[in-house]
Each structure stands twice: as structure tokens, then as C-alpha cells.
């Protein structure tokens, strides 16, 4: 099994689970025992600073919590992108792919200020048991696509689903224009 860690799951229009309607999920872990990811395009209106204090100063625009998925919404996962000039190991940073990784929220955010180009905090996560995600992809629920380093940090997360599909070209670019309710077309 090839790991899908660091790749995007983009919900197909046929995925009818309301938890994942038109979502883009970044897989932060994919192993034989299952997979874990966070929904990148479900911003809340809750400022990060209201929940995590000074972490809000490092949060990118919009500096709000995101709904990472339906599993354990009371927990938090923090994504960060290291600055290109940072060559040393960053304490509390666990690489997912390239400059993108998760950050231990028990770390003092001041220690990361010069090392990261921004953070995004997710309440909850999306999880799959062993083989479940592979079955969902095979059944046509998800497109598995490459992520760009800036995908988790775009300032208009509501546009991410269509943006990721459009940049694929060909038929997937056309899917970006699929109406939310085909009966209303």
C-alpha cells in the first residue's frame, strides 16, 4: 500500500454524506491501520485567539477555527507551513509533506513565530478505519489529488473545492461547475 499522506481528498458530487459535501480533505496520516485528515474548507466564525490565546496571532487569514471533521470536534489539530529559509528541525513540528506539518499545540507559539509562515487550527478530524478510505475512493466518493503547499492556508477557503478541481484541467475542471443541487439546474 502506497501512503496517501499529504494528498487531497476532494469530494465528488455523488458523495451524499453531509459531513463531506464539497469538501477538500488533507490527509495528514495514512497507514495500514487507517487514515486521518482535516477538512480544509469549513471555516467557523470562532477566532482562534478566543480558544487558544496567542496561537491566534500565528493563524492565517481567516484567523478562525476550522471544522476538521466529524470525529472528536472537541480536539484540535494544528497545521503549519515552515518558512523556506528555515533549514533546521523545528521543535514541536511533525512533517506531513514538504514544508507542511502538524504542530503540537502544547508548544509555546512564540517559539515557532520565526519558523512558520502561518498556522491553521482544526476542531475535530476526519478518520477512516483500515481499508475504508480505499473503498470510498474505489466507489467514486473521492478524487485523490496532489496538494499544493498553500492549499491549507488560502484566505478564501469556500473557493477551495472548485479551485482544486479547476486546476486539474480536462473533465475534472468541468466538475468544478457541477451545481450543488442538479435538480435545480
pLDDT at 89: 82
Phi, psi of 126 (to 5 degrees): -110, 135
The percent of residues in the chain predicted with pLDDT above 70, rounded, is 96
Nearest to 71 by CA among 23, 19, 26: 19
- Calculate ∠ Cα 175-159-114, nearest 5°: 135
d(Cα 99, Cα 118) in Å, to the nearest integer?
11
Q: What is the mean pLDDT of residues 15-44?
A: 96
Q: Which residues pair with 129 in a beta bridge?
A: 34
d(Cα 57, Cα 54) in Å, to the nearest integer?
5
- Residue 107 DSSP one-character state: S
Domain 8-178 superfamily per CATH: VC0467-like (3.40.1740.10)
pLDDT at 144: 97
Domain residue spans of the chain: 8-178
Query: Is residue 159's pLDDT more than 70?
Result: yes
pTM higher than 0.85: yes
pLDDT at 52: 95
pLDDT at 1: 67
Q: What is the mean pLDDT of residues 135-163?
A: 95
Contact 123, 73 (CB under 8 A): yes
Q: How many residues does the chain have?
A: 185
Q: Would you call the peptide bond into 152 cis, given omega within 30 degrees of 0 as the criterion?
A: no
- Residue 146 DSSP one-character state: P
pLDDT digits (tens, 9 = 90+) for 70-90: 999 999 999 999 998 877 788
Amino acid at each position: 500500500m502506497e501512503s496517501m499522506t499529504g494528498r487531497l481528498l476532494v469530494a465528488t458530487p455523488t458523495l451524499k454524506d453531509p459531513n463531506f459535501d464539497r469538501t477538500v480533505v488533507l490527509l495528514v496520516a495514512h497507514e495500514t491501520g487507517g487514515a486521518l485528515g482535516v477538512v480544509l474548507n469549513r471555516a467557523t466564525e470562532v477566532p482562534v485567539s478566543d480558544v487558544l490565546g496567542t496561537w491566534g496571532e500565528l493563524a492565517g487569514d481567516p484567523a478562525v477555527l476550522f471544522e476538521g471533521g466529524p470525529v472528536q470536534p472537541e480536539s484540535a489539530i494544528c497545521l503549519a507551513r515552515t518558512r523556506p529559509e528555515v533549514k533546521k528541525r523545528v521543535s514541536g513540528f511533525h512533517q506531513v509533506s514538504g514544508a507542511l506539518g502538524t504542530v503540537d499545540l502544547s508548544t509555546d507559539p512564540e517559539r515557532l513565530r520565526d519558523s512558520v509562515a502561518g498556522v491553521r487550527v482544526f476542531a475535530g478530524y476526519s478518520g477512516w478505519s483500515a481499508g475504508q478510505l480505499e473503498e470510498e475512493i474505489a466507489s467514486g466518493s473521492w478524487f485523490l489529488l496532489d496538494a499544493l503547499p498553500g492549499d491549507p492556508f488560502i484566505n478564501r477557503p469556500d473557493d477551495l473545492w472548485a479551485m482544486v478541481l479547476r486546476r486539474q484541467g480536462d473533465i475534472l475542471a468541468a466538475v468544478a461547475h457541477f451545481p450543488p443541487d442538479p435538480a435545480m439546474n
